[in-house]
Structure 1
Protein backbone atom coordinates (compact mmCIF):
# COMPACT_ATOMS: atom_id res chain seq x y z
CA UNK A 1 0.00 0.00 0.00
CA UNK A 2 1.32 3.47 -0.92
CA UNK A 3 2.39 5.63 2.01
CA UNK A 4 2.87 9.34 2.40
CA UNK A 5 1.64 12.26 0.35
CA UNK A 6 1.39 11.58 -3.37
CA UNK A 7 3.88 13.34 -5.67
CA UNK A 8 2.41 15.90 -8.04
CA UNK A 9 3.06 17.40 -11.46
CA UNK A 10 3.71 20.87 -10.00
CA UNK A 11 7.35 20.96 -11.08
CA UNK A 12 6.53 19.60 -14.53
CA UNK A 13 3.74 22.16 -14.90
CA UNK A 14 6.15 24.97 -14.02
CA UNK A 15 8.56 23.77 -16.69
CA UNK A 16 5.81 23.34 -19.30
CA UNK A 17 4.64 26.87 -18.53
CA UNK A 18 8.17 28.13 -19.28
CA UNK A 19 8.07 26.57 -22.73
CA UNK A 20 9.65 23.17 -22.16
CA UNK A 21 7.95 20.47 -24.19
CA UNK A 22 9.48 17.27 -22.84
CA UNK A 23 10.30 16.81 -19.14
CA UNK A 24 12.15 13.72 -17.98
CA UNK A 25 12.35 12.58 -14.36
CA UNK A 26 15.71 11.13 -13.35
CA UNK A 27 16.61 9.04 -10.29
CA UNK A 28 19.44 6.69 -9.34
CA UNK A 29 19.53 3.49 -7.32
CA UNK A 30 22.42 1.42 -6.00
CA UNK A 31 24.83 4.21 -5.12
CA UNK A 32 25.16 3.01 -1.52
CA UNK A 33 25.33 -0.70 -2.32
CA UNK A 34 28.50 -2.72 -1.74
CA UNK A 35 27.83 -5.06 -4.64
CA UNK A 36 26.10 -5.08 -7.99
CA UNK A 37 25.38 -2.41 -10.57
CA UNK A 38 24.48 1.24 -10.20
CA UNK A 39 21.37 2.19 -12.18
CA UNK A 40 19.65 5.42 -13.23
CA UNK A 41 16.01 5.56 -14.25
CA UNK A 42 14.52 8.06 -16.69
CA UNK A 43 10.77 8.53 -17.19
CA UNK A 44 8.71 10.84 -19.39
CA UNK A 45 5.04 10.96 -18.42
CA UNK A 46 1.92 11.97 -20.34
CA UNK A 47 0.40 15.29 -19.30
CA UNK A 48 -3.20 14.16 -19.01
CA UNK A 49 -3.11 10.75 -17.31
CA UNK A 50 -1.92 9.39 -13.98
CA UNK A 51 -2.10 6.18 -12.00
CA UNK A 52 -2.69 5.72 -8.31
CA UNK A 53 -0.09 4.62 -5.80
CA UNK A 54 3.08 6.16 -7.26
CA UNK A 55 5.49 7.23 -4.54
CA UNK A 56 9.21 7.50 -4.01
CA UNK A 57 10.40 3.90 -4.35
CA UNK A 58 11.84 3.97 -0.81
CA UNK A 59 8.33 4.55 0.58
CA UNK A 60 6.94 1.39 -1.02
CA UNK A 61 7.38 -2.27 -0.22
CA UNK A 62 9.06 -4.53 -2.74
CA UNK A 63 5.70 -6.14 -3.47
CA UNK A 64 4.11 -2.72 -4.10
CA UNK A 65 6.90 -1.73 -6.48
CA UNK A 66 6.56 -4.97 -8.41
CA UNK A 67 2.79 -4.52 -8.59
CA UNK A 68 3.18 -1.00 -9.98
CA UNK A 69 6.02 -1.69 -12.39
CA UNK A 70 4.08 -2.80 -15.48
CA UNK A 71 1.44 -0.13 -14.97
CA UNK A 72 4.07 2.61 -14.78
CA UNK A 73 5.99 1.24 -17.75
CA UNK A 74 2.80 1.20 -19.87
CA UNK A 75 1.81 4.66 -18.61
CA UNK A 76 5.06 6.38 -19.58
CA UNK A 77 5.46 7.98 -22.98
CA UNK A 78 8.94 6.46 -22.83
CA UNK A 79 11.23 5.21 -20.09
CA UNK A 80 14.67 3.71 -19.74
CA UNK A 81 17.08 2.42 -17.10
CA UNK A 82 20.82 2.85 -17.64
CA UNK A 83 23.28 0.65 -15.76
CA UNK A 84 26.97 0.57 -14.95
CA UNK A 85 28.61 -2.56 -13.64
CA UNK A 86 30.55 -2.93 -10.40
CA UNK A 87 33.74 -3.08 -12.50
CA UNK A 88 32.91 0.29 -14.04
CA UNK A 89 32.13 1.74 -10.61
CA UNK A 90 35.55 0.61 -9.39
CA UNK A 91 37.36 1.81 -12.49
CA UNK A 92 35.68 5.20 -12.85
CA UNK A 93 34.63 6.20 -9.35
CA UNK A 94 31.08 6.92 -8.33
CA UNK A 95 30.73 10.41 -9.82
CA UNK A 96 31.60 9.34 -13.37
CA UNK A 97 29.71 6.08 -12.93
CA UNK A 98 26.51 7.99 -12.13
CA UNK A 99 27.03 10.24 -15.14
CA UNK A 100 27.57 7.24 -17.41
CA UNK A 101 24.48 5.44 -16.11
CA UNK A 102 22.47 8.63 -16.67
CA UNK A 103 23.80 8.99 -20.20
CA UNK A 104 22.82 5.41 -20.97
CA UNK A 105 19.35 5.98 -19.53
CA UNK A 106 18.76 9.14 -21.58
CA UNK A 107 20.10 7.53 -24.73
CA UNK A 108 17.62 4.70 -24.20
CA UNK A 109 14.60 7.03 -24.38
CA UNK A 110 12.54 7.10 -27.56
CA UNK A 111 12.29 10.90 -27.52
CA UNK A 112 14.84 13.58 -26.64
CA UNK A 113 13.96 15.52 -23.47
CA UNK A 114 14.72 19.23 -23.30
CA UNK A 115 14.72 19.46 -19.49
CA UNK A 116 15.32 17.01 -16.66
CA UNK A 117 14.24 17.00 -13.02
CA UNK A 118 16.52 15.18 -10.61
CA UNK A 119 16.65 14.66 -6.86
CA UNK A 120 19.16 16.35 -4.56
CA UNK A 121 21.77 19.04 -5.10
CA UNK A 122 24.51 17.25 -7.01
CA UNK A 123 24.02 17.34 -10.79
CA UNK A 124 25.03 14.09 -12.49
CA UNK A 125 22.60 14.69 -15.37
CA UNK A 126 24.42 17.49 -17.23
CA UNK A 127 25.35 17.30 -20.12
CA UNK A 128 22.98 14.41 -20.90
CA UNK A 129 20.01 16.80 -21.03
CA UNK A 130 20.14 20.42 -22.21
CA UNK A 131 18.71 21.87 -18.98
CA UNK A 132 18.56 20.33 -15.51
CA UNK A 133 16.41 21.24 -12.51
CA UNK A 134 17.84 19.92 -9.25
CA UNK A 135 15.21 19.71 -6.52
CA UNK A 136 15.70 18.39 -2.99
CA UNK A 137 13.39 15.42 -2.34
CA UNK A 138 12.18 15.46 -5.95
CA UNK A 139 11.65 11.70 -5.66
CA UNK A 140 8.94 12.43 -3.08
CA UNK A 141 7.37 15.50 -4.64
CA UNK A 142 7.79 15.19 -8.43
CA UNK A 143 5.68 12.56 -10.16
CA UNK A 144 8.08 11.82 -13.02
CA UNK A 145 11.03 11.42 -10.65
CA UNK A 146 9.00 9.10 -8.40
CA UNK A 147 8.08 7.00 -11.45
CA UNK A 148 11.73 6.85 -12.51
CA UNK A 149 12.72 5.79 -9.00
CA UNK A 150 10.33 2.82 -9.07
CA UNK A 151 11.37 1.70 -12.54
CA UNK A 152 15.08 1.84 -11.66
CA UNK A 153 14.59 0.12 -8.30
CA UNK A 154 12.57 -2.77 -9.71
CA UNK A 155 14.98 -3.33 -12.60
CA UNK A 156 17.95 -3.39 -10.22
CA UNK A 157 16.19 -5.58 -7.63
CA UNK A 158 15.34 -8.12 -10.30
CA UNK A 159 18.95 -8.14 -11.47
CA UNK A 160 20.21 -8.68 -7.91
CA UNK A 161 17.77 -11.55 -7.40
CA UNK A 162 19.05 -13.08 -10.63
CA UNK A 163 22.68 -12.65 -9.55
CA UNK A 164 21.93 -14.18 -6.15
CA UNK A 165 21.44 -17.53 -7.88
CA UNK A 166 25.15 -17.48 -8.80
CA UNK A 167 26.27 -15.94 -5.48
CA UNK A 168 23.93 -17.40 -2.84
CA UNK A 169 26.21 -16.92 0.18
CA UNK A 170 25.75 -13.12 0.29
CA UNK A 171 21.91 -13.09 0.30
CA UNK A 172 21.67 -10.64 -2.60
CA UNK A 173 18.08 -11.75 -3.17
CA UNK A 174 17.09 -10.00 0.06
CA UNK A 175 19.72 -7.29 0.68
CA UNK A 176 20.23 -6.35 -3.00
CA UNK A 177 23.91 -5.71 -2.30
CA UNK A 178 23.35 -3.20 0.50
CA UNK A 179 25.03 -3.62 3.91
CA UNK A 180 23.13 -5.60 6.53
CA UNK A 181 24.20 -8.04 9.29
CA UNK A 182 23.93 -11.13 7.06
CA UNK A 183 25.84 -9.42 4.25
CA UNK A 184 28.62 -8.32 6.63
CA UNK A 185 28.87 -11.79 8.16
CA UNK A 186 29.11 -13.35 4.70
CA UNK A 187 31.94 -10.99 3.77
CA UNK A 188 33.83 -11.99 6.90
CA UNK A 189 33.21 -15.68 6.27
CA UNK A 190 33.49 -15.96 2.48
CA UNK A 191 35.25 -12.76 1.40
CA UNK A 192 33.96 -10.66 -1.51
CA UNK A 193 32.10 -12.13 -4.45
CA UNK A 194 32.89 -11.37 -8.08
CA UNK A 195 30.27 -8.60 -8.08
CA UNK A 196 31.48 -6.70 -5.01
CA UNK A 197 32.93 -3.22 -5.46
CA UNK A 198 36.57 -3.74 -4.55
CA UNK A 199 37.43 -0.04 -4.10
CA UNK A 200 34.81 0.52 -1.37
CA UNK A 201 36.04 1.06 2.20
CA UNK A 202 34.09 -1.95 3.52
CA UNK A 203 36.94 -4.04 2.08
CA UNK A 204 39.14 -2.67 4.87
CA UNK A 205 36.64 -3.40 7.63
CA UNK A 206 34.97 -6.71 6.76
CA UNK A 207 37.33 -8.64 4.50
CA UNK A 208 40.11 -10.20 6.57
CA UNK A 209 41.32 -12.77 4.09
CA UNK A 210 45.03 -12.67 3.15
CA UNK A 211 45.44 -11.96 -0.52
CA UNK A 212 41.99 -10.38 -0.87
CA UNK A 213 42.57 -6.70 -0.38
CA UNK A 214 40.86 -3.46 -1.15
CA UNK A 215 41.65 -2.04 -4.57
CA UNK A 216 42.69 1.59 -4.70
CA UNK A 217 41.66 3.37 -7.86
CA UNK A 218 44.46 5.54 -9.29
CA UNK A 219 43.62 9.17 -9.81
CA UNK A 220 42.57 9.74 -13.39
CA UNK A 221 40.88 12.52 -15.34
CA UNK A 222 37.10 12.53 -15.50
CA UNK A 223 35.43 11.07 -18.56
CA UNK A 224 32.93 13.94 -18.66
Structure 2
Protein backbone atom coordinates (compact mmCIF):
# COMPACT_ATOMS: atom_id res chain seq x y z
CA UNK A 1 0.00 0.00 0.00
CA UNK A 2 1.40 3.38 -1.03
CA UNK A 3 2.04 5.72 1.88
CA UNK A 4 0.43 9.15 1.88
CA UNK A 5 2.46 12.38 1.89
CA UNK A 6 1.37 13.01 5.50
CA UNK A 7 2.53 9.54 6.54
CA UNK A 8 5.89 10.08 4.84
CA UNK A 9 6.26 13.48 6.54
CA UNK A 10 5.79 11.73 9.89
CA UNK A 11 8.33 9.02 9.01
CA UNK A 12 10.94 11.58 7.92
CA UNK A 13 10.53 13.57 11.13
CA UNK A 14 12.01 10.59 13.02
CA UNK A 15 14.75 9.68 10.55
CA UNK A 16 18.36 10.79 11.01
CA UNK A 17 20.25 8.39 8.75
CA UNK A 18 20.09 8.79 4.99
CA UNK A 19 21.66 5.35 4.58
CA UNK A 20 18.78 3.58 6.28
CA UNK A 21 16.64 1.25 4.14
CA UNK A 22 13.54 3.30 4.91
CA UNK A 23 15.13 6.53 3.71
CA UNK A 24 16.53 4.95 0.55
CA UNK A 25 13.09 3.57 -0.26
CA UNK A 26 11.49 7.00 0.22
CA UNK A 27 14.19 8.66 -1.83
CA UNK A 28 13.28 6.41 -4.74
CA UNK A 29 9.65 7.50 -4.57
CA UNK A 30 9.28 9.76 -7.62
CA UNK A 31 6.18 11.63 -6.50
CA UNK A 32 6.84 15.37 -6.51
CA UNK A 33 5.44 15.76 -2.98
CA UNK A 34 7.79 13.10 -1.64
CA UNK A 35 10.81 14.60 -3.40
CA UNK A 36 9.98 17.99 -1.85
CA UNK A 37 9.88 16.37 1.58
CA UNK A 38 13.24 14.70 0.92
CA UNK A 39 14.76 18.06 -0.09
CA UNK A 40 13.32 19.66 3.05
CA UNK A 41 14.75 16.82 5.16
CA UNK A 42 18.24 17.52 3.77
CA UNK A 43 17.88 21.24 4.54
CA UNK A 44 16.83 20.45 8.09
CA UNK A 45 19.74 18.05 8.56
CA UNK A 46 22.11 20.75 7.32
CA UNK A 47 20.72 23.19 9.90
CA UNK A 48 21.14 20.59 12.62
CA UNK A 49 24.75 19.95 11.60
CA UNK A 50 25.49 23.69 11.58
CA UNK A 51 23.94 24.06 15.03
CA UNK A 52 25.96 21.09 16.30
CA UNK A 53 29.18 22.55 14.87
CA UNK A 54 28.44 25.93 16.47
CA UNK A 55 27.73 24.24 19.80
CA UNK A 56 31.11 22.50 19.76
CA UNK A 57 32.82 25.79 18.89
CA UNK A 58 30.99 27.51 21.77
CA UNK A 59 32.29 24.78 24.10
CA UNK A 60 35.96 25.59 23.40
CA UNK A 61 36.50 27.85 26.43
CA UNK A 62 34.85 25.29 28.67
CA UNK A 63 36.74 22.33 27.18
CA UNK A 64 40.04 24.13 27.68
CA UNK A 65 39.22 24.52 31.37
CA UNK A 66 37.95 20.95 31.69
CA UNK A 67 41.33 19.88 30.32
CA UNK A 68 42.90 21.63 33.34
CA UNK A 69 40.61 19.65 35.70
CA UNK A 70 38.45 22.73 36.30
CA UNK A 71 34.88 21.48 36.18
CA UNK A 72 32.74 24.00 38.07
CA UNK A 73 32.70 26.76 35.45
CA UNK A 74 30.13 29.53 35.81
CA UNK A 75 29.07 31.52 32.77
CA UNK A 76 27.97 35.02 33.80
CA UNK A 77 26.05 37.60 31.80
CA UNK A 78 23.65 40.51 32.29
CA UNK A 79 20.80 42.22 30.53
CA UNK A 80 19.35 45.67 30.98
CA UNK A 81 22.23 48.11 30.99
CA UNK A 82 20.63 50.43 28.43
CA UNK A 83 16.97 50.86 29.45
CA UNK A 84 15.56 53.94 31.15
CA UNK A 85 13.61 51.86 33.67
CA UNK A 86 13.82 48.62 35.60
CA UNK A 87 16.69 46.70 37.16
CA UNK A 88 19.81 45.34 35.56
CA UNK A 89 19.57 41.53 35.83
CA UNK A 90 22.45 39.04 35.81
CA UNK A 91 22.58 35.27 35.74
CA UNK A 92 25.29 32.76 36.55
CA UNK A 93 25.09 29.19 35.24
CA UNK A 94 27.26 26.14 35.88
CA UNK A 95 26.61 23.58 33.15
CA UNK A 96 27.36 19.89 33.25
CA UNK A 97 30.32 19.23 30.97
CA UNK A 98 28.26 16.60 29.13
CA UNK A 99 25.49 19.11 28.33
CA UNK A 100 24.03 19.06 24.83
CA UNK A 101 22.37 22.46 24.57
CA UNK A 102 22.62 22.42 20.78
CA UNK A 103 21.04 25.52 19.29
CA UNK A 104 21.67 27.68 22.36
CA UNK A 105 23.02 31.10 21.41
CA UNK A 106 23.22 34.71 22.46
CA UNK A 107 19.74 35.55 23.80
CA UNK A 108 19.36 38.39 21.27
CA UNK A 109 19.59 35.87 18.42
CA UNK A 110 16.86 33.57 19.71
CA UNK A 111 13.09 33.89 19.47
CA UNK A 112 11.15 34.15 22.73
CA UNK A 113 9.86 30.62 22.17
CA UNK A 114 13.43 29.31 21.83
CA UNK A 115 14.60 31.27 24.87
CA UNK A 116 11.81 29.83 26.99
CA UNK A 117 12.63 26.32 25.76
CA UNK A 118 16.28 26.74 26.78
CA UNK A 119 15.39 28.37 30.12
CA UNK A 120 13.45 25.21 31.04
CA UNK A 121 16.33 23.00 29.99
CA UNK A 122 18.95 25.11 31.77
CA UNK A 123 16.96 25.14 35.00
CA UNK A 124 16.45 21.38 34.92
CA UNK A 125 19.86 20.30 33.58
CA UNK A 126 22.40 22.80 34.98
CA UNK A 127 24.53 21.85 37.98
CA UNK A 128 23.51 25.20 39.46
CA UNK A 129 22.20 28.61 38.42
CA UNK A 130 21.69 31.94 40.16
CA UNK A 131 19.94 35.22 39.42
CA UNK A 132 21.08 38.60 40.72
CA UNK A 133 19.72 42.11 40.27
CA UNK A 134 20.55 45.72 40.95
CA UNK A 135 17.58 48.06 41.25
CA UNK A 136 17.06 51.38 39.49
CA UNK A 137 17.88 53.09 42.82
CA UNK A 138 21.19 51.19 43.06
CA UNK A 139 21.95 52.05 39.43
CA UNK A 140 21.44 55.75 40.23
CA UNK A 141 23.57 55.50 43.37
CA UNK A 142 26.46 53.47 41.94
CA UNK A 143 26.34 54.06 38.12
CA UNK A 144 25.32 51.38 35.66
CA UNK A 145 28.77 49.78 35.37
CA UNK A 146 29.16 49.24 39.12
CA UNK A 147 25.50 48.17 39.44
CA UNK A 148 26.08 45.56 36.73
CA UNK A 149 29.02 44.15 38.66
CA UNK A 150 26.87 44.07 41.81
CA UNK A 151 24.10 42.15 39.99
CA UNK A 152 26.67 39.65 38.66
CA UNK A 153 28.18 39.18 42.11
CA UNK A 154 24.73 38.54 43.56
CA UNK A 155 23.98 35.98 40.83
CA UNK A 156 27.21 34.11 41.59
CA UNK A 157 26.41 34.15 45.31
CA UNK A 158 23.09 32.43 44.54
CA UNK A 159 24.87 29.38 43.08
CA UNK A 160 24.64 26.24 45.22
CA UNK A 161 28.18 25.29 44.20
CA UNK A 162 31.19 27.59 44.49
CA UNK A 163 32.58 27.99 40.96
CA UNK A 164 36.24 27.31 40.31
CA UNK A 165 36.32 29.67 37.33
CA UNK A 166 34.12 32.40 35.86
CA UNK A 167 33.54 33.04 32.18
CA UNK A 168 32.14 36.57 32.00
CA UNK A 169 30.78 38.59 29.12
CA UNK A 170 33.13 41.59 28.73
CA UNK A 171 33.58 42.23 32.45
CA UNK A 172 36.01 41.61 35.31
CA UNK A 173 34.66 41.16 38.81
CA UNK A 174 36.40 41.99 42.12
CA UNK A 175 36.07 38.43 43.42
CA UNK A 176 38.55 35.84 44.64
CA UNK A 177 37.66 33.44 41.82
CA UNK A 178 39.77 33.01 38.69
CA UNK A 179 37.97 34.41 35.68
CA UNK A 180 38.11 35.05 31.97
CA UNK A 181 36.50 38.10 30.40
CA UNK A 182 35.29 37.36 26.87
CA UNK A 183 34.21 40.01 24.38
CA UNK A 184 30.86 38.92 22.88
CA UNK A 185 31.00 35.98 25.26
CA UNK A 186 27.27 35.33 24.91
CA UNK A 187 27.91 34.33 21.29
CA UNK A 188 31.16 32.42 21.87
CA UNK A 189 30.75 30.53 25.17
CA UNK A 190 27.90 28.11 25.83
CA UNK A 191 27.96 28.87 29.57
CA UNK A 192 27.68 32.62 29.01
CA UNK A 193 24.95 32.05 26.40
CA UNK A 194 23.01 30.07 29.01
CA UNK A 195 23.38 32.94 31.48
CA UNK A 196 22.30 35.49 28.86
CA UNK A 197 19.09 33.59 28.10
CA UNK A 198 18.26 33.15 31.78
CA UNK A 199 18.94 36.83 32.52
CA UNK A 200 16.86 38.09 29.60
CA UNK A 201 13.82 35.95 30.28
CA UNK A 202 13.94 36.87 33.98
CA UNK A 203 14.12 40.58 33.24
CA UNK A 204 11.47 40.44 30.52
CA UNK A 205 9.07 38.75 32.97
CA UNK A 206 9.73 41.46 35.55
CA UNK A 207 9.04 44.19 33.00
CA UNK A 208 5.80 42.52 31.89
CA UNK A 209 4.66 42.56 35.54
CA UNK A 210 5.72 46.21 35.83
CA UNK A 211 3.62 46.89 32.74
CA UNK A 212 0.58 45.48 34.51
CA UNK A 213 1.21 47.74 37.51
CA UNK A 214 1.74 50.82 35.35
CA UNK A 215 -0.25 50.25 32.12
CA UNK A 216 0.32 53.76 30.75
CA UNK A 217 4.01 53.12 30.04
CA UNK A 218 3.95 49.97 27.88
CA UNK A 219 6.84 48.30 29.73
CA UNK A 220 5.69 44.88 28.48
CA UNK A 221 6.42 46.03 24.91
CA UNK A 222 9.71 47.94 25.16
CA UNK A 223 11.10 46.45 28.40
CA UNK A 224 12.04 49.92 29.66
CA UNK A 225 14.10 51.01 26.66
CA UNK A 226 13.80 54.56 25.38
CA UNK A 227 11.33 54.00 22.57
CA UNK A 228 9.13 56.77 21.21
CA UNK A 229 6.14 55.29 23.04
CA UNK A 230 8.05 55.22 26.33
CA UNK A 231 9.35 58.78 25.98
CA UNK A 232 5.88 60.05 25.18
CA UNK A 233 4.49 58.29 28.27
CA UNK A 234 7.18 59.88 30.44
CA UNK A 235 6.28 63.27 28.99
CA UNK A 236 2.60 62.74 29.68
CA UNK A 237 2.62 60.86 33.01
CA UNK A 238 6.02 61.68 34.50
CA UNK A 239 8.38 59.14 36.01
CA UNK A 240 7.85 56.32 38.51
CA UNK A 241 10.14 54.74 41.10
CA UNK A 242 11.47 52.23 38.54
CA UNK A 243 12.85 54.94 36.27
CA UNK A 244 16.61 55.55 36.35
CA UNK A 245 16.90 59.17 37.41
CA UNK A 246 20.58 59.38 36.48
CA UNK A 247 19.83 58.50 32.83
CA UNK A 248 19.16 61.09 30.14
CA UNK A 249 16.49 62.17 29.23
CA UNK A 250 15.07 61.48 32.72
CA UNK A 251 17.91 63.19 34.58
CA UNK A 252 16.79 66.48 36.07
CA UNK A 253 13.07 65.68 36.10
Same-fold call, TM > 0.5?
A: yes
SS class of match (2:244): coil
Question: Which residue of the partner structure matches residue 110 of structure 2?
Answer: 60
Could you tell me how far apart the structure 2 residues matched to 1:51 and 1:113 are?
Answer: 20
> What aligned pairs does 1:1-224 form with structure 2 within 5 A after superposition?
5-6=54-55, 8-120=58-170, 122-123=171-172, 125-127=173-175, 129-204=176-251, 213-214=252-253
Q: Deviations over 1:159-185 (max 9, x none)?
A: 110111111111101111112121121
* SS at 1:170 equivalent: coil
2:36 is matched with: none
Q: CA deviation at 1:111?
A: 0.2
Looking at CA atoms only, which structure, 1 or 2, has the larger radius of gyration? 2
Normalising to structure 1: TM-score of the pair? 0.84
| Structure 1 unaligned regions, length at least 5 | 205-212, 215-224
Kindly indicate whether the alpha-carbon contact (under 8 Å) linking 1:73 and 1:79 is maintained by their aligned counterparts in 2. yes
Q: What secondary structure does 1:134 align onto?
A: strand
SS in 1 for 2:250: helix
Bigger relative contact order, structure 1 or 2, given CA contacts below 8 A and separation 6+?
1
Root mean square deviation of aligned Cα: 2.0
Task: Point out 4+ residue stretches in structure 1 off by more than 3 angstroms.
Answer: 1-7
d(CA) in 1 for partners of 2:242, 2:69: 44
The CA distance in 2 between the partners of 1:161 and 1:189, in whole Å, is 21
Count, aligned residues: 203
User: Runs of 5+ in structure 2 lacking a partner?
Assistant: 1-46
* Structure (1 or 2) with the greater helix fraction: 2
